Structure 1
Amino acid sequence: MHGIMISRRVLFLAAPVLAIPPVAAAAQPEQPDGPPAAPLAGDIDAILARQTLVVAMPGFQSFPFFGGSNDKPQGIDADTSQQLAAALGVKLVLDRSPTTFDGAVALIEQGRADIVVAKLSRTLGRARNISYSRPYAQLSHALIINRVRFAILADGRQPEDVVRSFDGELGVIAGSSFEYYARNNFTKAKVRTFLAWQELVTAVRDGHVDAAYRDDLEIKRLLHEDPSLTIVARSVTLTDLTDTIAIGVRRDSPHLLEFVNLFLELSGRDKPMTADELVDRYLRKA
C-alpha cells in the first residue's frame, strides 16, 4: 500500500479544528494588482440591472474544479459559473486576476465580484467576512510525505505516532485554507509556504520538506498522474478532518445566496461529492 488512513479522533485531540485563530495569526487576503475598482452594487436586483454576474476565480489550474484559459475556462466550477449566469439570465464575467484563493475571496470582500466559484474551502476565518452556499464537495485532509525524511522523523516509532506529534517541516500553498489548517492542526510543525502546488510537490520529492498538506483529492490526483512518486513518498489520509467546498457569496447579498442554494439543489449538486467520486468521474476518464 502506498498510503495509510489515520483517524482524527485520536490524532489531534489537543488542537480542535474549530478553534478560531487570533486575527494576527490569520493569513492576510491577497490584494489584487492595480487600483481598486469601484464596488459593485450587491444582490440579485443589481446583477439583473447591470446584466452581468461577476465570478472570482484564481488564474491557476485546479482540475477538475477549474482550469483552462481565461477565454476558455474549463472544469466543474467554470461550468457551474456559466450555468448560474444563464439561470439568472445575465452574462458571465470571470475575474481570474487573483493568484491565490484568499485573493479571490478578497474580491467579494471588497465588492469587486458577486461570488467565488473556485474550489473554495469553508473556514471560520473567511466566514467572518463572506457567506457560504451549501457544500457541493466534501474532501478529507491528507499528507504526501517524503519516505526518507519521514523515517528519520519516526526513529523507529509507528507512522501514526509520528503524525500525531508531527514536528517536521510541513509545506502548504500560501493563501490557501491549508495554511490556516496547518498552523492549527499541526502546532509543533515548522510550516513553510509555497506559491504553487507543483513547487511544493517538487520540494517533497527532493526532500526539501518532510511533507505537503492538502486535500485527499489533490493527493489522489497527484499519484494518479505520477505513480512514480510513490517510490519516494507515501500518502496519509486524515479521515476525521474534512474540507467542505462551497460557493462564496458577498455577505450583503442574502437573496443571491438563496438563489445559489436553490440552484445547487435543483441541479443535483446539493449532495457533496467525495474525492473518490471526483476521481472516478473526472480523472480516470482523462
Structure 2
Amino acid sequence: MRRHRHILTAMAATVLSLTACSLVGGPPASIGDNPATGGASGTPGPTTSVNADPALHDQLPERIKSAGVIRVASNIPYPPWEMYTTVGGKQPTGIDYDLSQALAAKLGVRASFDQTPFDSMIPAILAGKADIVMAGLFDTPKRRESLNFVDYAEDGYSMLVAKGNPEGLKDVTDLSGKTVAVQSSTSEEAAIDKLSDRLEAGGRPGVTVVRFPGDSEAFLAIRSGKAVARVQATSAAAYAAKTFDNGNAFELVQAPSITEQFGGGMEGIGVPKSDPELLKAIQKALQALMDDGTYQQILTKYGVQSIALTKAEINQGKVL
C-alpha cells in the first residue's frame, strides 16, 4: 500500500452520532396516482399506471415469466438514484426505484428492489441471487467483463465540498495533499488513485483517500471534517448539495478538469452476460418508456433531466 493511500474505517459510532444529516427522499416513488408498495426487503409492489406490453412480456426468460418478478439489486442510499422516503424507513424511492417499477410494469411483471452492499451487487447477479443491477452504475469496460448494460443516462463528475468551499477547491489539481472521501469499489475510487499517482509523478503531494463501504458515510466524512471533498457523479453530487440539510451542508464545484480526470460516461442497467433474452427485453421496455414520456417524467421528478438519453442502447460506456 502506497503511503498516500491511507485506508480509514468509518466507525459505527461516528455514523450514529451524525444520523440527523442522513439523506432521505421526498414523496413516495410512484408513476401516476397509485404508488408502488414494494420495499427493500424484496417484496414486490404493483405499478398500475404503466400499461403492460404482452409482446415484451413474451420476450422475458421463462423463469421470470413464471415467477412474475424481476429481482433488482441496488445499494441504498445513493440519492437521487435510490434512497428511503424517511430516515430509518424501508420504503425506497429515487430514480432507479421508480424506473424499476415502471420497467417491470411494462414487461407485465413486478420488480423487487433489494438492498445489496455495493461491492456485492455484481457477485449477487453472477450467483443468480438477483436478475439485474440498478444503482446509478457506470457502464465501464471492466464491468462489461461480467455484465452487459442497457444504458439509461449520461453523467459527468463534480466535487462535493462543505458549504462555502473553505479549502477554495476549483479543480482536481487542488486535491493535492488533501483528504478525499470515496465509496469503495466505485469508479471514482480507481480514478482518484490515478490522480494521486499523476500528482506524485509531477512532484506534488498525492491524495489521501478515505474509503467507506457506503455513500452516506462518505458524505458524513465531509461534515465531520475527516475529508475535504467527495468526487462523484454530478447527478448525485448536485442532489446532495440541494437537499442535504436543506442545502446548507454542501456545495458543488464543477470544472472541465474533473470530468476529464474521472471520465463520466453512461450509467446502465446491468444484466448478466448469460441472459441475452432479459437484456433485449429490458432494452425494449426502456425504449418504450422513453417513447411514451414515462422515463423523462421520472428524471424530471428528481431534477436530473439533463442526463436523459433518447435511445436505449447497449454497452456504449466509454473508458473511465
Mapping of residues 21-100 of structure 1, within 5 Å: 44-58=61-75, 60-68=76-84, 72-96=91-115, 98-100=116-118
- 1:210-235: per-residue Cα shift (whole Å, max 9, x none)? 321111122212221243335xx662
Task: Please list every run of 5 or more consecutive structure 1 residues that lacks an aligned counterpart in the other structure.
Answer: 1-42
Asked whether the 8 Å contact 1:136–1:269 carries over to 2, the reply is no
> Who is 1:144 aligned against?
160
Per the TM alignment, residue 99 of structure 1 is displaced from its structure 2 partner at its CA by 2.5
* Equivalent in 178, 181, 195 of residue 191 of structure 2: 181
1:243 and 1:215 map into 2 onto residues whose CA distance is: 10
Seen in structure 2, the aligned counterparts of structure 1 residues 92 and 162 have a Cα distance that, compared at 3 Å, is closer
Seen in structure 2, the aligned counterparts of structure 1 residues 264 and 161 have a Cα distance that, compared at 3 Å, is closer
Q: Percent identical across equivalent pairs?
A: 24
RCO greater where, 1 or 2, for CA within 8 Å and sep 6 or more? 1
Asked whether the 8 Å contact 1:44–1:256 carries over to 2, the reply is yes
Would you say 1:267 and 2:267 are equivalent positions?
no
Seen in structure 2, the aligned counterparts of structure 1 residues 283 and 86 have a Cα distance that, compared at 3 Å, is closer
1:61 aligned counterpart, secondary structure:
coil
Per the TM alignment, residue 246 of structure 1 is displaced from its structure 2 partner at its CA by 1.0
Per the TM alignment, residue 166 of structure 1 is displaced from its structure 2 partner at its CA by 3.0
Seen in structure 2, the aligned counterparts of structure 1 residues 131 and 270 have a Cα distance that, compared at 3 Å, is farther
Letter in 2 for 1:214: Q
Asked whether the 8 Å contact 1:219–1:235 carries over to 2, the reply is no
> Who is 1:123 aligned against?
140
> Who is 2:30 aligned against?
none
> Who is 2:238 aligned against?
220
Asked whether the 8 Å contact 2:158–2:237 carries over to 1, the reply is yes
Per the TM alignment, residue 254 of structure 1 is displaced from its structure 2 partner at its CA by 0.8
Per the TM alignment, residue 249 of structure 1 is displaced from its structure 2 partner at its CA by 0.3
Seen in structure 2, the aligned counterparts of structure 1 residues 198 and 269 have a Cα distance that, compared at 3 Å, is farther
2:171 and 2:186 map into 1 onto residues whose CA distance is: 25
Would you say 1:112 and 2:132 are equivalent positions?
no
Per the TM alignment, residue 71 of structure 1 is displaced from its structure 2 partner at its CA by 6.2
1:160 and 1:64 map into 2 onto residues whose CA distance is: 24
TM-score normalized by structure 1?
0.66
Question: Would you tell me which structure has more strand in proportion to its own residues?
Answer: 1
> Who is 2:268 aligned against?
246
Number of paired residues? 224
> Who is 1:255 aligned against?
277
Per the TM alignment, residue 269 of structure 1 is displaced from its structure 2 partner at its CA by 7.2
Per the TM alignment, residue 184 of structure 1 is displaced from its structure 2 partner at its CA by 3.0
1:252 aligned counterpart, secondary structure:
coil
Asked whether the 8 Å contact 1:136–1:270 carries over to 2, the reply is no
Seen in structure 2, the aligned counterparts of structure 1 residues 124 and 203 have a Cα distance that, compared at 3 Å, is same
Task: Please list every run of 5 or more consecutive structure 2 residues that lacks an aligned counterpart in the other structure.
Answer: 1-59, 198-205, 305-320
1:212 aligned counterpart, secondary structure:
strand
1:161 and 1:75 map into 2 onto residues whose CA distance is: 29
Asked whether the 8 Å contact 2:81–2:236 carries over to 1, the reply is no
1:270 and 1:184 map into 2 onto residues whose CA distance is: 42
Asked whether the 8 Å contact 2:103–2:282 carries over to 1, the reply is yes
Large movers: runs of 4+ above 6 Å: none
Letter in 2 for 1:175: S
CA RMSD of aligned residues (A): 3.2
Asked whether the 8 Å contact 1:48–1:88 carries over to 2, the reply is no
- 1:21-73: per-residue Cα shift (whole Å, max 9, x none)? xxxxxxxxxxxxxxxxxxxxxx7122223333221122x22333223378643
Asked whether the 8 Å contact 2:237–2:252 carries over to 1, the reply is no
> Who is 1:210 aligned against?
228
Per the TM alignment, residue 127 of structure 1 is displaced from its structure 2 partner at its CA by 1.3
1:191 and 1:265 map into 2 onto residues whose CA distance is: 39
- 1:154-181: per-residue Cα shift (whole Å, max 9, x none)? 8xxxx44834x73422210123332233
- 1:224-275: per-residue Cα shift (whole Å, max 9, x none)? 1243335xx662342443142110001101121111111121211799x99x
Seen in structure 2, the aligned counterparts of structure 1 residues 259 and 127 have a Cα distance that, compared at 3 Å, is same
